[in-house]
Structures are given as structure tokens and as C-alpha cells.
Copies of this chain bind each other. A is one copy, B any other.
Amino acid sequence: MSEAAYVAVDWGTSSFRLWLVGRAGDVLGERRSDEGMMAASKPGFAAVLQSHLEAVGALPALPVIICGMAGARQGWVEAGYVDTPAPLASVLQHAVTVPGQDRDVRILPGIAQRDRSAPDVMRGEETQLLGVLGPQAAADALVCMPGTHSKWVSVNGGTVERFATFMTGELFGAIARETILAHAVAGADEAIDIDAFKSAVSAAFERPAFAANRLFQVRSGQLLYGGTPAAARERISGTLIGLELAAGLAGEAAGAGVTLVASGRLRRLYQLAFDTMSVAVRSVEADDATRRGLSMAAATIWSI
């Protein structure tokens, strides 16, 4: 184990991740909690951060680099946006220093697409993009970053040219919990019903306009023909992911394949979806991407 060099924090809307990183880039300590932006605003961001710094034994002189919603207007200190076309290197140059702290604490900005016909924002994903592509990436890339709000990003020579956010994950949650389909998915076990998922993906991909109809068929199909809760759940997520792919792959340079930045179950589902549509995928673990991006920021800011 090398000596501790800096602390990296991924501070999202509903989750908090912290890594104590050594001079050799090795992880010396790690913390996870649900003290995201929403929960942290009550005790205060400084107090939440301090408790986790103490838990990993971070010395007072260690600097902290943060990405994510902590930099939103409703967050700790607003870190603004770099506007598209946004060179990833410029994200590193616009980190904002949190005032009044004993140690050096900086928050990375997000990226904004100020286009009235396609307004969009990201916070946190720019750091993952850095981690996946590096600040000097030469090649073009189409990056899919699934989640509550999935991002599809076109990067060209290290510059984020365009991106689009899809409410896929949040729609799934609202539909599976708050509509008549809640009965259809109740009691589903963990295992993925691959056939149900793939057929839903291709149906939504081919006829996106019928998405809200395919969703109702989850219920009417179960009513008339039966079926498991897992199949119902996979039909819902397959419909929403197929819809997302139909848009994300439309008119984009997906010829060279898609870079998928995801983890866990979501990573498996999106890989299955891309397989269904015969699209080549390079898959990157989301947490690794975030940590690599934060380490690039530390290297740029503090030459660590």
C-alpha cells in the first residue's frame, strides 16, 4: 500500500461514494452511503464529508476532489457547467474550490447543452467520460450511460459534441411501483427472464410509437395467458430500454460500436439489449470509470 495522496468523491442525488486513494492510484479505503445531495442538505455537506473522511482516517492535509450533484445549484457549492461542444479537458480546468474548508476541496463542473430544441445537462457523467476516454481521446465514441436518467453521448476527438438524457430508469420505477402494472411484477425474483426481455426490446425498437401499448399488454397478456412476475418486469424494462436504443442509435455513428458505462444488473440488461439489436459493445464498469475520472482531475489540479 502506498501513502494516501487524495480523496475522491462521487456525490450523486441519492448516493455518496468516497475513495481514499494512494500515490500509486491504489484504493486504501472506501465508503458508500445513501447520503446523496437530497439527504446531505440537512446535516450539511461539510459534516457528511467530514464523518466519512474520519472513517477512512484521511489526514487533514489531504485534498478532496468531488464530482456529481454536490455541484448543483441545490447542492453544496454550485460548480456551473461547461457548455457543449465541451472538451473533456476543460472540465478539469473548471473545478470550483469549496470556500471556508481546512483542506483543499474542489467540485468538478457538469456539462450543459444550451440548445433550445434539445436542452440537456449532466453532472457526474462528464467525470465517467473522462475516466473512460481520457482528456485527450482522439477517436470518436458513442457512449451509453444507463441509469435513473440514461445519457447517450457523442464524443469527438476528446470533445462532447452532443448528448441526450432519457428518463428510462425513473420511468421504470414509476411504472413498476405506481401503475396497474405493480400487480403484474409483484413478487418477481432476481433472475432475468431473458426471452421476455429480448422480445420486448426488439418490439419497442422496431415500433417505438407503441411503447405505451406494449406496457398495457404486460397486464392484458398476464390476464389472458398468465405469466411470471419476472417476465412482466422484463417486458416493462425491455420496452423502455428498446425505446431508448431506438433513439440513441438513430442517426448516430454507432458503426464503430457503443461504449457502455454501467454496473450490476443494469449492465447485464443493456448488454442483452445491444446483443438483441446486434450492436457491438465495449463495456466499462461505471465505478471504475468514475474513480479514473476523478484521478485524472487530481493529477491535473494537484499534479498527484
What residues make up the interface of A, taking CB atoms closer than 8 Å to B? 112-114, 116, 118-121, 149, 164-168, 170-171, 173-175, 177-180, 207-213, 215-217, 220-221, 223-225, 240, 243-244, 246-247, 250
Measured between alpha carbons, how far is A250 from B171 in the docked complex, in Å?
25
Q: How far, in Å, is A237 (CB) from chain B's closest CB?
A: 12
Q: Is the interface of A mostly helix, strand, loop or mixed?
A: helix
Measured between alpha carbons, how far is A52 from B6 in the docked complex, in Å?
72
A212 near B171 with CB under 8 A, answer yes
B217 near A120 with CB under 8 A, answer yes
B209 near A243 with CB under 8 A, answer yes
Q: Which of B114, B173, B213 touches A224 (beta carbons < 8 Å)?
A: B114
A225 near B180 with CB under 8 A, answer no
Measured between alpha carbons, how far is A255 from B218 in the docked complex, in Å?
31
A212 near B168 with CB under 8 A, answer yes
A179 near B167 with CB under 8 A, answer yes
A175 near B165 with CB under 8 A, answer no
Q: Which of B164, B165, B225 touches A119 (beta carbons < 8 Å)?
A: B225
